[in-house]
Amino acid sequence: MHDFTTLLIEVGALLLLLGLLGRLSQRFGLSPIPLYLLAGLAFGHGGLLPLAASEEFFAVGAEIGVILLLVMLGLEYSANELVGNLRSAAPAGLIDGVFNALPGAAFALLLGWDWVAALVLGGITWVSSSGVIAKVLADLGRLGNRETPVILSVLVIEDLAMALYLPLVTAVLAGTGLLGGGIALTVAVGTVLIVLVVAIRYGHLISSALSAKDPEALLLGVLGLTLLIAGIAASLQVSAAVGAFLVGIALSGPVAHHATELLSPLRDLFAAVFFVFFGLTTDPQDIPPVLLPALALAVITMATKTATGYLAARRVGIAEPGRWRTGLALVPRGEFSIVIAGLAVAAGSVEPRLAALAATYVLITVVTGPILARLPDFPWFKRWLRSRAAAQRQMPVPIHD
């Protein structure tokens, strides 16, 4: 009984604090994500006032938060839009992998780490945080922008790539060899293909089984289906986020519209829990020794990720402001990076500084990312874009013989 009372006090106090921080951020026109993370650092391991009783609650809530963020993102788009975006964004996905995985791998080798650590760090720097980016896009009111499908396409390609990468890196870390890695990879590919076929071909049947007229039944049905598919995907070594996203894609029509309205408050609650939990599990004392390397790596890969988004948006004819919004929105790394680092730490056979470096790196990108995403909305940035466009129009046209 005493533990339950402590749990209520800790959870209630922290949620109240998050509410006040959210109001504070709204007053200054900022995303609340950095404040949520700093709150987690203050009350986590090594923080000012560590919380013990509520850690398990926030761990489960964080997982649900990522799943809700992704299913809500999937509800914004149809299956046909997903397929079309994936086809058009395949080159951008290749550029994304080269631009952002290679710097992480090269950085590990420059630090004197082995190739396994390089493989792990490459994955950490490669994949953007779908959860953070979905929250930022919602906070900034950009879900309906023309560049948002481009951002979504890059994120989906990354998530699907992680469905292949995670089983492979798990096999490498476990030392099972090529045979074990190949089996895990085959299971992952088969699962993703099956879920995609069901979502695209039979999504209308799933929607018809859920009634949009009964809010309670709809909420329970959509939430239950999302958690079920996410859990099955995770048990098969496929990303739970991919499973949740594909559930959102499968739902359509009035069901999707009403489900979005019903799930929005739950998404906001558990998304905040996700960001706090990340801070809770990061010990501030581990940050100073790896701060400079993590900062250097963050600066490099924030630039390469911005270039990735800029080029992806330019390929589909989006104007200059949208290109910058695309690139800067993709900067944050988050849940997948932490998962990859956690696999390496659990294996116990990689560089011991990797965990602290990964946590610090993700913290830097996830704090600065939402701030950078707002740059295209600032008046001075818009003036710079206009002057840049004017200068390009005035450039002399080369004369050829």
**Residue 177, pLDDT above cutoff 70:** no
Provide the 10 A C-beta neighbour count for residue 245.
34
Q: Which residue range(s) make up the domain with 308? A: 1-9+31-378
Phi/psi of residue 65, nearest 5 degrees = -60, -45
Q: How far is C-alpha 298 from the geometric centre of its chain's CA atoms?
A: 16
Residue 106: band (very low, low, confident or very high) from pLDDT cuts 50, 70, 90? very high
Task: Compute the average pLDDT of residues 332-344.
Answer: 79
Name the one residue in this structure whose structure tokens are 């109001």.
23
For residue 14, the model assigns a pLDDT of: 86
H-helix or E-strand spanning residue 190: helix 177-201
In a domain, 369, yes or no: yes
In a domain, 395, yes or no: no
Give the ranges where 281-334 is alpha helix by DSSP (H): 291-315, 320-329
For residue 304, the model assigns a pLDDT of: 96
In a domain, 384, yes or no: no
The domain tally of the chain equals: 1
Distance CA(197)–CA(199), nearest Å, equals 5
Give the ranges where 44-147 is alpha helix by DSSP (H): 55-75, 79-110, 115-126, 130-139
At residue 389, the 3 state secondary structure works out as: helix
For residue 196, the model assigns a pLDDT of: 67
Please give the mean pLDDT across all residues of the chain: 81
- For residue 164, give the CATH number of its domain: 1.20.1530.20
Between 177 and 278, the more confident residue is 278
State both tokens at 198: 């069901």
Distance CA(180)–CA(129), nearest Å, equals 28
In a domain, 91, yes or no: yes
Global pTM reads 0.73
For residue 328, the model assigns a pLDDT of: 94
Provide the 10 A C-beta neighbour count for residue 388.
11
State both tokens at 161: 């790539």
Residue 178: band (very low, low, confident or very high) from pLDDT cuts 50, 70, 90? low
In a domain, 396, yes or no: no
In a domain, 387, yes or no: no
In a domain, 390, yes or no: no
Name the one residue in this structure whose structure tokens are 């089983």.
167
pLDDT one-digit tens code per residue, 230-278: 888 777 766 677 778 778 877 877 888 888 888 888 888 888 888 788 7
Distance CA(266)–CA(270), nearest Å, equals 6
Distance CA(304)–CA(327), nearest Å, equals 9
In a domain, 47, yes or no: yes
**Residue 400, pLDDT above cutoff 60:** no
**Residue 401, pLDDT above cutoff 50:** no
